[in-house]
Structure 1
């Protein structure tokens, strides 16, 4: 009976779907991209395309850079010099690396200047800072969330609040982490490489993988019909599964002798002669994804055989937040991701998925 009970305890997953048009005044596409801060993989699929346009290929190859800093004291992120050099002069992102959200202390610096700490009970008590219990702690609170507004903090360096936070990170409980860092700025001067040179900072470029798939069987999608609507052909869950199989280069033929994959394309479907796939992996900023999304929309400025293209974005499983400042958890699944299906009339479907320890996407 215990075995049967465990089999029934399938982790809860939540998939939210909406449709709109990129030209609509109330379209939320840009807001939802810009507030999904920590992205490690971006994938796109363009049916009936054998060679990417120069504009699209150049854009993909220009993603980056981002930086890795080992054993960086958390105190360095609250200094007036850092805030004035990066936080106030662009969008600055930082995320602890190789930390597990359900086991370790994790930290994220949001582009709005909020520093979010997810701390275990002992560390939280040792810092002496004010926070709130994690909403995923269970009956016994073992994790706390601390939010520090760096903009407010740096406005008065002589305030009791700044002195308390500074003392907590520098003397009371000095914390060090490996960090991923990135900075999006327009016309601002400054360099993260030189600023953190004393900590052995490393510059990285995202990993780019471009390929062409022949004779790909694709589901038939119609822009006006989403899951649950009359005559809707392919459900959102089916589309998600299919895209995962395509980007994972799984065998989709459902041959009886294939013991690795018996998966096949949702019906109705059609075979396209060729399709372009692209995957970008690294520490990828929302600002870069917004530009790529717009470029994919412009793909249909000239007539194309393809009726739609897709853009899929996956977030870091161990990020303290998913969208905006919404707390993110792991437990049985740490996914938080979204997918655009972009149609040739500028209609789009937006699908947002989260795992067991997350609230509903915005």
Structure 2
């Protein structure tokens, strides 16, 4: 996937970046955001989404939960060879608070990331780095292990040291959710769940939860050359969280977020949301499906919200709930084929171009 060279809009100072995308490739914004918690689609003049979009979101959308998992089990030789190196594993600890407790994840690229309190880090014995968000107190550290590295195989010094440290020095068990997408089409995605079950862990099948909001006869903004994109995205965000987009009372706070000019004729506005765990591959498919249907509407938006307590937000950029809990992006598809992309950046880096 190629990164566009020219951007029409400069990034604001609040760690959001707005850009217009006209390339046929899928933006790298999607492939670098691994832990997708909710997927929202806003469609003007619709009471129901096209069946193809709904089917795309729901098809193979199941994920699994494993309870009481030690981190050492993730580096098991059989598990790494079968599931980390032969497909994309998206795994994340749940019911843990990134600012107070140990959290773990495995990225689709095969990186095991541990966000640890200082006592557990010092006891672990694997080299890491101090948390960017906790530099003044030195109470949190981040450890990364490349599970796909050539030297990370049984018998090699690196593998044996990591495995021993995780088995003997890291206390605590984790509840995790995960998706495994095999490299080969003839392999069942549930094989990883079956592997955990055979090892004696409690494994549960999970499905996304659905909700929707339908606003009738409201003002709908047009998205074109005269559109104020920042105001449009603010308005879109208010609707997505259930705000009153029809209110035109100048004394009301929400009035500042009413439909920005220019406006199209009034009509219905549908917000559909699915909440669960979605892989980056699933988002790439959703992106393509919406792109195929946008010609039937003036615009359609896709909003993706990440998990608040994931150790990383974008790629391997460290994540912190209090300073950067809002890791998300919005893509607005226009009938012209151009897309508007708004990305909420990690606070531990200076704003850069959206990819």
Contact 1:37–1:110 (8 Å) recurs in 2: yes
Q: Is the alpha carbon distance of 1:170 and 1:213 closer, same or farther for their aligned partners in structure 2, counting shifts above 3 Å? A: same
Tell me, in whole angstroms, the C-alpha distance in 1 between the residues paired with 2:156 and 2:324.
41
Equivalent residues in 2 for 1:1-362, closer than 5 Å: 13-23=14-24, 27=25, 29-152=26-149, 155-185=152-182, 186-187=184-185, 188-189=187-188, 191-197=191-197, 198-210=200-212, 212-222=214-224, 225=225, 232-236=226-230, 238-254=231-247, 256=249, 261-262=254-255, 263-301=257-295, 304=296, 306-354=297-345, 356=347, 359-360=350-351
| Kept after mapping to 1: 8 A contact 2:208/2:275 | yes
TM-score by length of structure 1 reads 0.85
2: CA distance, partners of 1:13 / 1:317: 18
Maintained 8 Å contact 1:13/1:355: no
Partner of 1:4: none
> Which stretches in structure 1 are left out of the alignment for 5+ residues?
1-11, 226-231
Q: Which deviates more, 53-62 or 292-301? A: 53-62
SS in 2 for 1:165: helix
Deviation at 1:110, TM superposition (A): 0.5
Structure 1 residues 113, 332: closer, same or farther in 2, change over 3 A?
Answer: closer
Deviation, structure 1 residue 358:
5.5
- In structure 2, how many angstroms separate the alpha carbons of the residues matched to 1:212 and 1:200? 39
Q: 1:251 to 1:212 in 2, by over 3 A?
A: closer
Give the direction of change, closer, same or farther, for the CA distance of 1:352–1:326 in structure 2 (3 Å limit).
Answer: same
Secondary structure of 2:133's aligned partner: coil
**Distance (Å, rounded) in 2 between the aligned partners of 1:309 and 1:257:** 28
CA deviation profile, 1:331-358 (whole Å, cap 9, x unmatched): 2441111111111121111110136555
> Superposition RMSD on alpha carbons, in Å?
2.3
| Runs of 5+ consecutive residues of structure 2 not aligned to the other structure | 1-12
Question: May I ask how many residue pairs the two structures share in their alignment?
Answer: 335
Farther-moved stretch of structure 1 (107-116 vs 209-218)? 209-218
Taking the aligned partners of 2:260 and 2:267, their CA distance within structure 1 comes to 18
Task: Using the TM superposition, give the Cα deviation of residue 76 of structure 1 relative to its aligned residue in structure 2, in angstroms.
Answer: 0.7
Residues 215 and 271 in structure 1, CA contact (< 8 A), matched pair in contact too: no
CA contact (8 A) 2:223 2:334 kept: no
Taking the aligned partners of 1:221 and 1:310, their CA distance within structure 2 comes to 11
| Cα separation, 1, equivalents of 2:121 and 2:350 | 24
**Aligned partners of 1:47 and 1:272 also within 8 Å:** no
SS in 2 for 1:196: helix
Q: Is the partner of 2:149 in helix, strand or coil?
A: helix
**Post-superposition shift, 1:162?**
1.3
Q: Do the aligned residues in 2 keep the contact of 1:36 with 1:323 (CA within 8 Å)?
A: yes
SS at match of 2:322: coil
